């Protein structure tokens, strides 16, 4: 079953994925502009020198010390690596937005993998950061920062899960079981016709609602699979303009 069917209590995962991609692109662009405005490699070197001089007030975690050394000795390489990673992340976001709009699963895969790697790095950075600063701040502030960072990570994982749910839904609507009941157009699913037989293994030989003349499974058959009863995805796949025509979100 999909991880979620509704995004932010109102929107569906298709529109939610497009919004997530736009927010990630905006976040990345702002970060790149800010790093360039702060001086790029010079900014990283100055920060490394500052933390090296004041290392006694911080917890000298091995990763933290290694990062200081890298930023001090090779700030240009570190800055170029960060900018290159963010530059490669932007096309993944754009491809994901296109995949959500045109319902192409393969366009979602790069974003899902890269974003998962990014979230793992952010999580490790948050954990190590809290370990490093625990000697230099009050315990109350440390707890507050830890909780705030945890909620921020929870939000980021929620946004990532929206795209994963869309990929799961696209797999369902492209499956033979779904097509046999609701047709091959997920944006305009047909209503399954009532069958005369209650045999859960019965398959109707012909269905006038299917333009391709495919056999349509009885709705009772779906109770044996992850598809139960009526179309649970009808609200997840509507044209973008239907939000204004029917007061429903995509």
Q: What percent of the chain has pLDDT over 70?
A: 74
Q: Over the stretch 196-205, which tens digit does the pLDDT of each residue have? A: 444 444 444 4
Which letter does DSSP use for residue 38 in this model?
Answer: T
Q: Over the stretch 60-73, which tens digit does the pLDDT of each residue have? A: 889 999 999 999 99
pLDDT for the residue numbered 233: 38
Q: What totals of helices (H) and strands (E) does the chain contain, helices first?
A: 8, 4
Q: How far apart are CA 184 and CA 178, in angstroms?
A: 8
Does residue 79 carry a pLDDT above 80?
Answer: yes
Strands (E), the chain: 6-7, 11-12, 203-204, 216-217
pLDDT for the residue numbered 87: 93
Q: Over the stretch 185-224, which tens digit does the pLDDT of each residue have? A: 776 666 666 554 444 444 444 444 444 444 444 333 333 3
Q: How long a stretch of residues is the chain?
A: 250
CB 240 within 8 A of CB 12: no
Does residue 160 carry a pLDDT above 50?
Answer: yes
Predicted model pTM: 0.74
- CA distances from residue 36 to 41, 53, 195 in whole angstroms, order as listed: 9, 25, 65
Residues 6+ apart with CB under 8 A from 60: none
Q: Which residue has the higher pLDDT, 181 or 116?
A: 116
Q: What is the DSSP string of 180-217?
A: HHH-S-TTSPPPPPPPS---TT-EES--TT-TT---EE
Where do the domains of the chain lie?
Answer: 1-37+92-180
Q: Over the stretch 47-57, which tens digit does the pLDDT of each residue have? A: 999 999 988 88
Q: What percent of the chain has pLDDT over 90?
A: 47
């Amino acid at each position: 079953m999909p991880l979620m069917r509704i995004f932010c209590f109102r929107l569906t995962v298709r529109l939610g994925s497009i919004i997530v991609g736009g927010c990630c692109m905006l976040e990345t662009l702002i970060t790149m502009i800010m790093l360039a405005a702060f001086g790029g490699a010079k900014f990283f070197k100055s920060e490394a020198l500052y933390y090296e001089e004041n290392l006694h007030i911080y917890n000298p975690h091995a990763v933290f010390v290694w990062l200081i050394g890298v930023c001090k000795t090779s700030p240009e390489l570190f800055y170029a690596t960060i900018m290159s990673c963010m530059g490669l992340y932007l096309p993944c976001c754009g491809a994901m937005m296109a995949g959500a709009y045109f319902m192409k699963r393969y366009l979602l895969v790069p974003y899902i993998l890269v974003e998962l790697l990014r979230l793992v790095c952010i999580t490790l950075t948050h954990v190590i950061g809290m370990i490093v600063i625990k000697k230099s701040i009050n315990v109350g502030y440390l707890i507050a920062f830890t909780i705030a960072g945890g909620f921020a990570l929870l939000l980021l994982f929620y946004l990532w899960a929206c795209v994963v749910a869309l990929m799961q839904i696209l797999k369902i609507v492209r499956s033979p079981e779904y097509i046999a009941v609701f047709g091959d157009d997920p944006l305009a699913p047909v209503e399954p016709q009532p069958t005369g037989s209650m045999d859960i293994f019965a398959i109707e030989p012909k269905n006038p609602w299917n333009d391709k003349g495919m056999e349509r499974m009885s709705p009772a058959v779906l109770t044996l699979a992850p598809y139960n009863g009526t179309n649970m995805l009808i609200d997840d796949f509507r044209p973008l303009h239907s939000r204004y025509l029917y007061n429903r979100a995509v």
